[in-house]
């Protein structure tokens, strides 16, 4: 078990200075995420143009993995179409659970989350933002939970 | 921690005690295990493991049933464990000792039996802000069912019960006081003698949640004069899935059964049944016999070490760990009561408790992180989570040093 694999410099950097932190008002979609086991909370607001996500902000509190994952996600999905976002989520999910990316695509900075796969207890920390984003894209009103 | 006989201290040998817990010999991620999560669940000594093995390999059958030898040996083992629990708590009679799954079930029993038959609209149940969820949710459920109201006495910033506010909340409407003996999240030892005195002066019965107390303090239900006392086996070096509800006999005798089934009856007709005597009236179905045997062995083990000696040993570790942790930059201790058990809840500036937990685990140090099943308490402090190191009889000063070293490692990783 290698801590440096989990807490890579990119993760620590995005935890220290999260990108796209805050709230959009007005927003076209929003959702609240909650990991009841560790108390992590995450609020996502986003703007859409047709099928394309044009802007996104997140706020809340959580561990380094959950904050960095949300920050990295925000950079990766901005400007993308829904189907592209779905594809990236699939790739990230494969990465977090230690499987090969379905299409063998390059995940860019998101690849820094690869170390999480070695820490099963932390997979939920990294995936909370993605579940919350899905809910925001679906205009889901009820809070999503990792449980 | 009153004056202790020197002889008890001389007999307590931390090196020998540690060697009696086989799991502590293993490594975690290649490093010797430092187990600092006894408040969540303690480890078991050989004495418990062997007692359970002996029961399973020589004595098992159903209890209170057949005339065959094994059924009698199982009954003897099970009822023997009840007598050990009675002696451990200094209860008057084994009729006051009900075996349950754990503290949670014990409190649910009292809520569903005593609470359902006694509480009505306008009545109040008084707890505190620092309770474990298991001493909150059963009361919420029974209050919702009966129309009673749940009140919580506030705490101070140090994590102590605000006694003046507690006394103000004891009113003509209060029907029951239910409080922790020791806080699981902070380690605060509550002034339970005073709590019982104040409640009894108003004829209000008192339930004490002793989950955190039995392994770390002497518990004498007659000296405490409490009406209910609940604890779990796995927090006092025994197995999971077994615990004890002590209930004052006069109260227990007036309480209706809460679960029906075999063993809790004397005779059954289709129309009605005659219930069994105390305490079996509250033990429907085949009980956790081997668990009870293991619990009995655990209580005997604690008695053999000496509860005062364990408390003194752990208090020394608490003082050492408090001093060492307080000296770490950016570390804040949460819960600084004057009377504490060996539990240290803390936060580190700029580092989430879960990251602390993961880094400590990589160093072989096991602590708990999160809300500790005490979310109203966390809300009081405005925290989503803390890191918590909790000590048991098998810990030593070296464990404290390993904790401090691994916390320094957290600083290295997070800068």
pLDDT of residue B415: 80
Number of domains in chain B: 2
Whether residues B207 and B262 fall in one domain: yes
Over residues B244-264, the mean pLDDT reads 96
pLDDT of residue B275: 94
Q: How far is CA B74 from CA A84, B62, B239, B298, in A?
A: 64, 7, 17, 18
Whether residues B200 and B289 fall in one domain: yes
Whether residues B222 and B134 fall in one domain: yes
Nearest to B352 by CA among A32, A35, A97, A44: A35
Per CB-CB distance under 8 Å, the chain A contacts of B415 are 12
Domains for chain A: give ranges and CATH numbers. Answer: 3-138 (3.90.1010.10)
Instruction: State what percent of residues in chain A have pLDDT above 90.
Output: 74
pLDDT of residue A147: 65
Whether residues B223 and B281 fall in one domain: yes
Q: Which of the listed residues B247, B279, B304 is the one where a domain comes to its end?
A: B304
Whether residues B170 and B287 fall in one domain: yes
Residue B295, in any domain of the structure: yes
Contact (Cβ atoms closer than 8 angstroms) between residue B287 and residue B74: no
**Whole-angstrom distance, CA of residue B323 vs CA of residue B334:** 14
Whether residues B295 and B328 fall in one domain: no
CA atoms within a 13 Å half-sphere pointing along the CA-CB vector of A83? 1
Length of chain A counted residue by residue: 147
Contact between A64 and B355 using a beta-carbon 8 Å cutoff = yes
pLDDT tens digits, one per residue of A24-40 = 999 999 999 998 877 78
Q: Which of the listed residues B282, B304, B326 is the one where a domain comes to its end?
A: B304
Whether residues B310 and B299 fall in one domain: no
The SS3 of residue B374 is coil
pLDDT tens digits, one per residue of B112-143 = 999 999 999 999 999 999 999 999 999 999 99
For residue B307, the surrounding DSSP H or E stretch is helix B307-326
Q: Looking at residue B381, which CATH number applies to its domain?
A: 3.90.1150.10
Over residues B295-321, the mean pLDDT reads 97
Contact between B352 and A121 using a beta-carbon 8 Å cutoff = no
Nearest to B414 by CA among A65, A110, A96: A65
pLDDT of residue A127 exceeding 60, the answer is: yes
pLDDT of residue A38: 74
Interface test with A, best of B334, B350, B351, B354 (most A CBs within 10 A): B354
All residues at 6 or more sequence positions from A41 whose CB lies less than 8 Å from its CB, including other chains: A32, A33, A34, A35, A60, A61, A62, B384
Whether residues B237 and B297 fall in one domain: yes
Partners of A147 in the beta sheet? none
Interface test with B, best of A64, A120, A122 (most B CBs within 10 A): A64
pLDDT of residue B347 exceeding 50, the answer is: yes
Question: Which residue among B59, B226, B373, B393 is the active-site one?
Answer: B373
Over residues B322-334, the mean pLDDT reads 97
Domain extent for B15: 6-45+306-414
pLDDT of residue A140: 55
pLDDT of residue B1: 41
Q: Looking at residue B196, which CATH number applies to its domain?
A: 3.40.640.10
Window 68-127 of A, Cβ < 8 Å to B: 119, 121-122, 125
Mean confidence (pLDDT) of chain B? 96
Whether residues B270 and B239 fall in one domain: yes
pLDDT of residue B69 exceeding 80, the answer is: yes
Q: Which of the listed residues B304, B325, B347 is the one where a domain comes to its end?
A: B304
A138 touches chain B (CB under 8 A): no
Residue B181, in any domain of the structure: yes
CA atoms within a 13 Å half-sphere pointing along the CA-CB vector of B379? 9
pLDDT tens digits, one per residue of B165-195 = 999 999 999 999 999 999 999 999 999 999 9
pLDDT tens digits, one per residue of B138-161 = 999 999 999 999 999 999 999 999
Length of chain B counted residue by residue: 415
**Whole-angstrom distance, CA of residue B375 vs CA of residue B168:** 24
pLDDT of residue A35: 87
Per CB-CB distance under 8 Å, the chain A contacts of B362 are 1, 3
Contact between A1 and B369 using a beta-carbon 8 Å cutoff = no
Residue B1, in any domain of the structure: no
The SS3 of residue B93 is coil
Mean confidence (pLDDT) of chain A? 91
Whether residues B11 and B87 fall in one domain: no
Determine whether B373 is an active site residue. yes
pLDDT of residue A3: 87
pLDDT of residue A144: 74
pLDDT of residue B3: 47
Nearest to B177 by CA among B167, B185, B188: B167
- CA nearest to B414 within chain A: A12
Of the candidates B355, B370, B413, the beta carbon closest to that of A39 is on B370
Q: Measure the N-to-C terminal CA separation of chain A; round to a whole number of Å.
A: 26
Whether residues B95 and B29 fall in one domain: no
Please identify which residue in the block is written with the tokens 């004490």.
B208
Whether residues B121 and B60 fall in one domain: yes
pLDDT of residue A142 exceeding 70, the answer is: no
């Amino acid at each position: 078990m290698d801590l440096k694999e989990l807490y890579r410099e990119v993760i620590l950097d995005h935890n220290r200075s999260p990108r796209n932190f805050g709230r959009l008002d007005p927003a076209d979609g929003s959702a609240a995420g909650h990991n009841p086991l560790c108390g992590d909370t995450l609020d996502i607001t986003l703007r859409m143009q047709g099928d394309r996500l044009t802007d996104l902000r997140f706020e809340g509190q959580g561990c380094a993995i959950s904050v960095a994952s949300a920050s990295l996600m925000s950079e990766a999905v901005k400007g993308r179409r829904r189907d592209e976002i779905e594809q990236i989520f699939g790739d990230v999910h494969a990465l977090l659970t230690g499987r090969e990316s379905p299409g063998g695509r390059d995940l860019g900075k998101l690849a820094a989350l690869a170390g999480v796969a070695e820490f099963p207890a932390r997979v939920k920390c990294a995936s909370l933002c993605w579940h919350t984003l899905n809910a925001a894209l679906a205009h889901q009103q009820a809070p999503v939970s990792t449980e | 921690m009153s004056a202790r006989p020197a002889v008890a201290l001389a007999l307590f040998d931390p090196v020998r005690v540690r060697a009696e817990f086989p799991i502590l010999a293993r490594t975690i991620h290649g490093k010797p295990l430092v187990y600092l999560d006894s408040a969540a669940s303690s480890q078991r000594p050989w004495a418990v493991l062997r007692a359970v093995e002996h029961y399973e390999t020589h004595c098992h059958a159903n209890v209170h049933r057949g005339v065959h030898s094994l059924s009698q040996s199982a009954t003897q083992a099970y009822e023997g464990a009840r007598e050990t629990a009675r002696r451990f708590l200094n209860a008057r009679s084994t009729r006051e000792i009900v075996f349950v799954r754990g503290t949670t079930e014990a409190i649910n029993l009292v809520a569903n039996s005593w609470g359902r038959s006694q509480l009505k609209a306008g009545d109040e149940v008084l707890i505190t802000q620092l309770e474990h969820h298991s001493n909150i949710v059963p009361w919420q459920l029974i209050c919702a069912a009966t129309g009673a109201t749940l009140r919580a006495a506030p705490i101070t910033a140090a994590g102590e019960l605000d006694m003046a506010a507690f006394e103000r909340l004891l009113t003509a409407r209060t029907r029951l006081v239910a409080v922790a003996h020791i806080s699981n999240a902070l380690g605060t030892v509550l002034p339970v003698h005073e709590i019982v005195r104040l409640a009894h002066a108003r004829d209000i019965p008192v339930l004490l949640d002793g989950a955190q107390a039995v392994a770390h303090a002497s518990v004498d239900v007659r000296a405490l004069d409490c009406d209910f006392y609940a604890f779990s086996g796995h927090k006092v070096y025994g197995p999971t899935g077994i615990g004890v509800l002590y209930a004052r006999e006069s109260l227990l005798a007036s309480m209706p059964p809460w679960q029906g089934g075999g063993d809790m009856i004397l005779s059954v007709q289709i129309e009605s049944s005659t219930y069994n005597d105390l305490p079996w009236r509250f033990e429907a179905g085949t009980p956790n016999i081997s668990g009870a045997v293991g619990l009995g062995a655990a209580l005997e083990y604690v008695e053999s070490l000496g509860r005062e000696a364990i408390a003194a040993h752990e208090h020394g570790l608490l003082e050492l760990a408090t001093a060492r942790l307080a000296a770490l930059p950016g570390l804040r201790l949460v819960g600084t009561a004057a009377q504490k058990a060996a539990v240290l809840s803390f936060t580190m500036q700029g580092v989430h408790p879960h990251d602390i937990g993961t880094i400590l685990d990589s160093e072989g140090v096991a602590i708990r992180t999160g809300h500790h099943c005490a979310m109203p308490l966390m809300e009081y402090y405005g925290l989503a989570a803390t890191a918590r190191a909790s000590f048991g009889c098998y810990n030593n000063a070296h464990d404290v040093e390993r904790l401090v070293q691994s916390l320094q490692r957290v600083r290295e990783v997070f800068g």
